Amino acid sequence: MVQAVAVPVTVKTRLGWSDDEINILDFARRLEDCGAALFTIHGRTRAQGYQGPAQWDWIRRVKQAVSVPVIANGDIDSLEAAIACLSQTGADGVMCSRGTLGYPYLVGEIDHWLQTGQRRPAPSLVDQLHCARDHLQGLWDYKGQRGLFQARKHMTWYVKGFAGSAELRQQLSCMTSLAEGLGLLEGAIAACSPQEQASGSPEIVAITGPVTSP
Ligand SMILES: Cc1cc2nc3c(=O)[nH]c(=O)nc-3n(C[C@H](O)[C@H](O)[C@H](O)COP(=O)(O)O)c2cc1C
């Protein structure tokens, strides 16, 4: 495949089939010999599914076993997790997954820390509600009614941890029109204090290439 295409061939894979059959070191070495340009390692086995902690120590071993860049994946659900994972594995970057559900700021927070060594201010509640509203509108624009149904679950990930969030979450989880969803979110934004409403939204960053620590 490496010879058949003009772009670098990268590989994303798990550790192996089960804890009894972890074959990632042999697999990664063989793929590197075949020309793989970068690995993203999800630190779970197939048998684990998405349960149990990601086994970052195996990612550390992969990093030591190959010479191409290694991106660590699994349980990167906060800036602290990203810092700990980079430190424990020596990986060249991290890949976020479920941690971004309802919190797309995570990638930007990690990127900001990597670029500056500083923690970026967290988004306010109003920032997050605006983001949820834009996400809902975007899903509608892109996918129509199907997007609206998909937005139901995304809205439940955004709307949590503040007074009235349980009721709002329940309402958004069964919205039947764009106007209804937007109205619910606009109502929640209007109910926030003027101070919260004046805050500016942190930039949301999408990174598709590898990042490296300073
Ligand atoms: C809804 C969902 C869809 C996913 N789709 C893909 C996919 O298409 N290809 C892939 O390699 N991994 C996919 N994954 C796996 C993630 O990329 C990631 O490896 C996994 O969720 C572990 O990271 P986490 O513990 O931070 O969630 C998906 C995960 C979720 C939750």
pLDDT of residue 194: 77
Q: Ligand 1 test: best mutation among 42, 48, 51, 76, most atoms within 8 Å of CB?
A: 42
How far is ligand 1, taken at its centre, from the CA of residue 36, in Å? 21
The residue whose CA has the least distance to atom 19 of ligand 1 is: 42
Q: What's the predicted TM-score (pTM) here?
A: 0.89
* Distance, CA of 201 to CA of 105 (rounded, Å): 10
Arithmetic mean of pLDDT over the chain: 93
38 contact partners, CB below 8 Å, separation of at least 6: 8, 10, 11, 68, 69, 70, 71, 210
Confidence tier at 195 by pLDDT (50, 70, 90): confident
Is 213 or 162 the better-scoring residue by pLDDT?
162
Token couple for 9: 């061939």
Atom of ligand 1 nearest to the CA of 101: 31
